[in-house]
A and B are shown apart, each in its own frame.
Chain A
Amino acid sequence: MDNLLELKNVTKIYEGGVLANHNISFSVREGEIHALVGENGAGKSTLMKILYGMESITSGQIFLRGKEVKFSSSKDAIAHGIGMVHQHFMLVDSFTGAENLMLGYSGARFFSNKKADIEETNAVAKKYGFVIDARRRVRDMGVSMKQKLEIMKILYRGSKIIILDEPTAVLTPQETEELFERLIELKKSGMTIIFISHKLNEVKRISDRITVLKSGKTMGTYNTADISEEDISNLMVGRVISFEYDKTPLVSGKELLRTEHLKYKDMFGVIKLNDLSLSLHEKEIVGIAGVEGNGQNELVEIITANLRALSGKVFYKGEDITDKSIGDVRRRGIASIPEDRMFNGCAGNMSISENIIAADISTFEDKNKLLNKNRIKNYSKELIKKFEVKTKDENQMIKSLSGGNIQKAIVAREFSTSSDLLILNQPTRGIDIGSISFIHHKILEMRDAGKGILLVSSDLNELIALADRILVMYKGRIVASMDNKTKVNEQELGLYMLGIKDQGEAV
């Protein structure tokens, strides 16, 4: 088979000097489903955005049917028959389904005709066997309908190559199954599909060939039939994916945190927390598992006072802290690491030391409310050393560090306060394996030092390696509570996460 699409030595350096892709070469054959696998932050999405013309390349070449192409925008990519479904859907929320289908379409009429557009949309849906509501605004659509709309957009534009970026991350098992059937049909009709995922079982099931990416570089392309899941994961992380740590046996102490009957609905009226109660003790790591968007973030935000529950209570060391401010909660001894480090985990344009002191500014104040420069300098130097943050010095701007080092600096800040409870939301997302294992060791150190830890993670291996107890959240409820003394079965966790199994009221 001929190579339909070929990338040669593609390098991408983002503004600020982040190296996302480094000398990547790989090719895609006509009519295959080609999977691109790699950990978060391995450079998959960047690579696909390059293919789709949304990011420019710093160096390298792209060939389509043997001819070199240069995409300066998605328009070029679309014109060459490439379409993409992004991880975060690219739809205009206030527009209807029909309007989104027509948006940017070169054949659309200059003078809008609502009725004709809706008819056209329905016709397209019928042709490919999708069920969507052309009149409904995107903000009122469910995830699955949005995804169908995205795929329809691509088909409508006559694309022959479809890129799907983590399409199953947001789908239920049934929806995933439906998607796979559709993809196989599309393949049969001559489409070429590039499928990005880090779920190896899915990749094994649906793809013909697999290219593995690791920290911005390719680790080779393989026939799916010739390679085992273990081999793929070895290539992805450079060693066996599961983490093994020597853990001291659990001797949990007093109760630190208790939530009672927490309820929350988001601004669209979707139930995010449904009568959620849990408790956490000293010297204990409680893991929260769940498909993203099942209320984990809301739980964390309510405990740390970043969000107010509709009803229910939060107690810390027996004290009701439900209505306390963020600062009050922190001062009482709850430290936390947010999900998105650049959004609210640090101030990118400030120095490392200015970021490191943020969690407890008052300890660096003189009696005149002036900051003690020497104390700050020594403290930052000490933390940089202790947490192995790789940097020129403590005055370097934090955004110029690598993701792993930024995260280590944030961990350093939150782990070095006198807090007794640590709330960690995806503490190792998108960082290199070295930093991950370093942070894991620090988490276990904290546990041994007597702190209680609530660990929310979408990485099941991380949860199984670290947690003493794993709670599974599904649609705002805890559907399972599992003792992790002897390692929990990942498959079983999966069944609870997808809502197939439920321990019911017993939890």
Chain B
Amino acid sequence: MNYLVSPNFWFSILASTTPVLLATLAANIVSKAGIFNLAIEGTMLICALTGVLVSAFTKSLVLGALAGVFIGIAISYILGYFALIMKGAMNACGVAINLAATGGTVFVLATVTGSKASSSSLVSSTFPNIAVPFIKNIPFAGSILSGHNIITYLAWFFTFLTWFLLYKTKLGQEIRAVGENEETSRSAGINVNLMKFISLAFCGVYSAFGGMYLSMGSLKSFTAGMVAGRGYLSLAMNSISQGNPILGFASSLIYGFAETMTVYLELYSKLNLKLISAFPYIFIIVVLLLVQTIKNNIKKNRKKSLQN
């Protein structure tokens, strides 16, 4: 268990937190607007592929990233159109997009590269890693906080941005009002669907970067199904954080920790490898149960004090 004190371990936690953090932020902002977006998973997957393909064919990282972001917003708007305008069941619409994404990315990958598994035959761009001046020189902390992929720093910025937007601006206030009480917001003259679509746009951007981090950051190519449930987990993280991006960051760290532990356990323990792969999920369910038990206790005490 020596690895617990090595900076590498903590660096990996932050690195593996990144995609889930972005997905959690995506879930945060739409849940504040009253949307349950199961399609974050699929959106990430599609954007991961889009970024790789476009950057490979244009030889431009910027164009690849822009295309990914554009598609991310587009997919979120497809969900918005069917769930909000066409009044579809939100869960079913999310499932539909994920299905189309899972199979569709394989289809596109196979059609373009001839391989169903990965895009490694293409030369695609990657986002650079950044050594942060000054911070990198701090012993221990420097080697944890510096040298991450640019998307990781972007994700930290997005965390602050989302928090600021939601709690410090008129737009955020209106988004939260829509999520809490649609009828009231409508009566106050707020365009409810506009607020929802604005939050879906943010959701699309965050999901896109989450997806592209996987295929153009931590890995250099797209592999089929590479999002591997992070989009779904983000919805659980969102429940823990109750839509608050700062808490969302904290709960994403739980995932980052679980995933990094998994990697280290696979390296250093003698447990069955497949069983270890289940660790993040089990860990998160245990955390969920703990959090709820604590909440229940607080509620019970509050109720008691009110009723007596």
Give residues in A with beta carbon < 8 Å to B: 52, 54, 73-75, 77-79, 84, 86, 90-95, 99, 102-104, 106, 108-112, 153, 265, 267-269, 310
Contact = CB atoms under 8 A, between A and B. Distances in A.
Contact of B191 (A75, A102, A109): A75
B306 interface: yes
B186 A73 contact: yes
A112 B173 CA distance: 9
B117 to A, nearest CB: 45
Interface residues of B, number: 23
B295 interface: no
Contacts of B183: 90
> What 6 A-B pairs come out closest when comparing CB atoms?
A104-B188, A269-B306, A75-B189, A90-B187, A90-B184, A104-B189
Nearest to B302: A267
Given A90-B184, A93-B181, A110 B170 contact: yes
Contacts of B303: 267
Contact of A267 (B171, B174, B180, B306): B306
A52 B186 CA distance: 10
Nearest to A108: B170
Given A74-B189, A103-B185, A269-B306, A110 B171 contact: yes
Nearest to A106: B189
B188 A90 contact: yes
Given A93-B180, A103-B174, A265-B307, A110 B186 contact: no
A103 B169 contact: no
Contacts of B307: 265, 269, 310
Contact of A86 (B177, B185, B187, B306): B187
Contacts of A265: 306-307
A126 to B, nearest CB: 22
Interface in B161-217: 167-171, 173-174, 176-177, 180-181, 183-191
Interface of B is mostly: helix
Nearest to A111: B169
B184 A92 contact: yes
Contacts of B188: 74, 90, 103-104, 153
Nearest to B189: A75
A95 to B, nearest CB: 7
B171 A75 contact: no
B169 A112 contact: yes
Interface in B262-308: 303, 306-307
A261 to B, nearest CB: 16
B77 to A, nearest CB: 20
Given A111-B168, A112-B173, 16 more contacts: A54-B186, A74-B189, A90-B183, A90-B184, A90-B187, A92-B184, A94-B180, A103-B185, A103-B188, A106-B189, A109-B170, A110-B169, A111-B170, A112-B167, A153-B188, A265-B307
A109 B168 CA distance: 10
A108 B170 CA distance: 7
Contacts of B168: 111-112
A152 to B, nearest CB: 13
B169 A78 contact: no
A114 B53 CA distance: 47
